């Protein structure tokens, strides 16, 4: 990223103008928020299942899960429409990020290791204060959930958040500022999803939202750094997103006591990691 610093010709007077050309991006973010929220919060499709047979296997998918997946995919679909309307070059930029899979292997390894390490550490620390029977986490279940998750939430979200939104933000702002702006929006976008999937109560809602927002902000910094370090490789951040989603579900579904504490510890660990990445971003500007 190239920084262009302009100096006013008037003595000791600097006028900071707001970045231009962001109106379309704010409109996109507004439509993405409304689109996902309308799908998630609609009263229809919360009961029943969609059943079908494949090679003798009977598969039943709850309508609620289908509704959640459509809400997850909406921002990516809207991003593709916006890019297409902006011109062939914009669409090619998004698709080139999606096809840029030849990143160094260490980044793929990091994408897998980071969420698993954070959640295992959080579980281990939580057990010191809230003992429960030894957990037996199934690698098979984790891999199946990862394979099912990747083509939906992570793929379509990353098309919207990193390939489209982050690129446009970084034209006007620094990496760190762009990551924080996107992180705040990304956290707000998740609120109905947390309400539907976590079964929040009045006593736990604020704590979970707080931990969730801190985690999302931290992840936004980590995702931004990884996206830029890999030359805008979307497969790397899609993998990180998918492993995070599958690992968090597999870990916390096994926690019977101390769930809030486990969430808080994982948020703290992600924050510490994000601080390191954020410091690296600031050094690049120095």
SS3 content of the chain, % helix, strand, coil (to 5): 70, 5, 25
**243-281 pLDDT, tens digit each:** 999 988 877 766 667 778 888 999 999 999 999 999 988
Indicate the helix (H) or strand (E) that contains 108. Answer: helix 105-129
Q: Which pLDDT score, from 0 to 100, does residue 10 have? A: 38
Answer whether residue 156 shows pLDDT above 50.
yes
Distance CA 57, CA 227 (A): 39
Q: Minimum mean pLDDT among 122-136, 156-170, 222-236: which range?
A: 122-136
What residue ranges do the domains of the chain occupy? 24-33+51-285
- In total, the chain counts a number of residues equal to 286
Q: Is 223 left (phi over 0), alpha (psi -120 to 50) or beta?
A: alpha
pLDDT digits (tens, 9 = 90+) for 41-95: 988 656 677 676 766 676 667 777 888 889 999 999 999 999 999 988 999 999 9
Structure tokens at 228: 């830029």
Contacts of 230 (CB under 8 A, 6+ apart): 100, 103, 104, 107, 236
SS3 54: strand
Tell whether the model's pLDDT for residue 193 goes beyond 60.
Answer: yes
Diameter of the chain measured on Cα atoms: 80
pTM, entire model: 0.86
């Amino acid at each position: 990223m190239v920084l262009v610093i302009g100096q006013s010709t008037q003595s000791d007077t600097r006028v900071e103008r707001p970045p231009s050309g962001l109106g379309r991006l704010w409109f996109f973010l507004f439509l993405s928020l409304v689109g996902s929220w309308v799908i998630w919060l609609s009263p229809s499709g919360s009961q029943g299942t969609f059943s079908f047979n494949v090679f003798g296997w009977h598969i039943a998918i709850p309508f609620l899960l289908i509704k959640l997946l459509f809400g997850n995919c909406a921002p990516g679909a809207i991003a593709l429409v916006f890019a297409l309307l902006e011109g062939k070059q914009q669409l090619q930029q998004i698709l080139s990020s999606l096809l840029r899979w030849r990143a160094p292997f260490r980044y793929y390894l990091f994408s897998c290791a980071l969420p698993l390490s954070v959640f295992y550490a959080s579980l281990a620390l939580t057990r010191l204060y809230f003992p429960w029977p030894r957990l037996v986490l199934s690698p098979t279940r984790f891999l199946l959930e990862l394979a099912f998750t990747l083509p939906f939430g992570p793929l379509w979200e990353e098309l919207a958040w990193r390939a489209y939104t982050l690129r446009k933000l970084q034209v006007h702002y620094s990496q760190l500022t762009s990551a924080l702006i996107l992180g705040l929006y990304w956290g707000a976008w998740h609120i109905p999803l947390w309400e539907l999937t976590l079964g929040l109560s009045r006593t736990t809602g604020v704590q979970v939202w707080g931990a969730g927002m801190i985690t999302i902000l931290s992840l936004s910094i980590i995702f931004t750094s990884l996206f830029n370090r890999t030359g805008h490789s979307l497969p790397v951040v899609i993998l990180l997103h998918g492993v995070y989603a599958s690992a968090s579900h597999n870990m916390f579904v096994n926690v019977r006591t101390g769930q809030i504490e486990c969430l808080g510890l994982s948020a703290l660990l992600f924050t510490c990691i994000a601080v390191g990445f954020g410091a690296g971003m600031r050094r690049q500007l120095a």
